[in-house]
Amino acid sequence: MPVTLHTLSGLTVWDGESDRGTATVSWSGDRITSVEPAASAGEAASAPSEYSVIPGLIDTHVHLDSSAGAKPGDWMTWPLITPDSERSIHVVAHARRAAAAGVTTLRDLSGSDVQLSAARALDAGLIPGPRVLVHGAVGMTAGHGDLFVPPHYPHRAPVADSPDECRKLVRQWARSGADGIKIFTSGGVLSIGDKVGWRNQTPQEIAATVDEAHALGMLVAAHTHTAEGVDIALEFEVDSIEHGTGIQERHWETLLERNLPVAPTLLINDAIADRRIPVSDDAAEKGRAVVTERDENFVGAAAAGVRFVLGTDANGIFVRFGDQLEELRLMARAFGWSAERALRAGTSDAADAIRLTGRVGRLQPGHGADFVVVRGKPWQDIDTLTAENIVAVVARGELVSGALPA
Ligand SMILES: [Zn+2]
């Protein structure tokens, strides 16, 4: 079968790290073959375009398994009463919505066979869409992960309540084809009946999970909302901090030394605390406490240079697939970042954070063909990074939204 070479020329290229000026991007299938500067100053100047090209965005923390229908209903009940086969289709719909908004790589942090099946269908090219990485959760009975299901409901996600059970569950995820593991080192906001301050698992259980995951080549993402939870995550050498609202000054040195990524999930915690979305009184109360603590902690952490990367907790209901653009604008504001620093947190640095260096996150030969044509230069002005300014999105070499400029 002949392989078609596609090109896009005359646009300004921001390659994930810096402005490359007017250039021509070529790709063939899911592979960027070249990024060549305009041949002459004349060529660069003759066709000044209002459009630019940036790498597809990467969200390191999402949850795709919720209803993608117009009336999602009760988000907690829906996964319990909907068969896996049907949920996989909703997962793909959410993933495609993200891609249409410019998010071409998603890491799902509460995976099951539902997301793994959808990810394989996307990998096989059955349906054009983004790349989906899937982490399986290893948590305790009555832990944050366990309490998304009402207490007496009999059909529950697996839990692990001893170091041996933790090892076994990690191995089962590895057998299922999961890309990584999610753990919890504190309680959560939306989980039913727990407290944010609850310890989740013993040090021995966490140690066994991280050791086994690393032995099997999997990254470990740690959900935490408390300072003690960050202590545990750092002690046992996880690979990323999720939420991290409890980060204190005592954590900065280790975070910087290890260049450990933190997904700040700003938008969802704000939305819960402000009750912009329908949540229980208990969840709103927990959300307010978490956000108050977070705002103080994050200003100091960002100034110290802590490595925040795009991670939204989008589930299609509280944070929609496409709200990643708003999250990046919020991150720039909250952390006092330049537009370029914010955009790196959603492209090249997000790729590096989840071990996708050399594959996505940059417009470079040999990388996957994921990119977004935008109106304006969002690395100079992050406020231009809006849905209205997205002209076209190419994911895995295929146009998934809009139309490429002629
Ligand atoms: Zn999450």
Q: What's the pLDDT tens digit per position in 282-310?
A: 888 888 888 888 888 999 999 999 999 99
Band (39; pLDDT cuts 50, 70, 90): confident
Mean pLDDT, rounded, for 180-189 = 93
Q: Please, how many CA atoms are within 13 Å of residue 50, restricted to the half-sphere of its CB?
A: 5
Rounded-to-integer distance, Cα 194 and Cα 206, Å: 19
| Ligand 1 midpoint to CA 173 (Å) | 18
pTM of the predicted structure, to 2 decimals: 0.96
| Ligand 1 midpoint to CA 389 (Å) | 28
Distances (CA, A) of 120 to 101, 113, 132, 133, 313: 21, 10, 9, 10, 22
| Ligand 1 midpoint to CA 269 (Å) | 11
Question: How many residues can be counted in the chain?
Answer: 406
| Ligand 1 midpoint to CA 24 (Å) | 38
| Ligand 1 midpoint to CA 307 (Å) | 18
Rounded-to-integer distance, Cα 246 and Cα 403, Å: 43
| Ligand 1 midpoint to CA 382 (Å) | 25
Domain 56-353 in CATH 3.50.50.60: no
CATH code for the domain defined by 5-54+362-402: 2.30.40.10
Band (134; pLDDT cuts 50, 70, 90): very high
| Ligand 1 midpoint to CA 147 (Å) | 13
- The full set of domain ranges for the chain reads 5-54+362-402, 56-353
- Predicted local confidence at residue 48, as pLDDT: 59
Band (278; pLDDT cuts 50, 70, 90): confident
Rounded-to-integer distance, Cα 197 and Cα 246, Å: 10
| Ligand 1 midpoint to CA 136 (Å) | 12
- Residue 180 CA to chain centroid, in angstroms? 13
Band (364; pLDDT cuts 50, 70, 90): very high
Task: Give start and end residues of each alpha helix (H) in 177-321.
Answer: 203-215, 227-235, 249-258, 266-273, 281-304
The tens digit of pLDDT for each residue in 185-194 reads 998 888 888 8
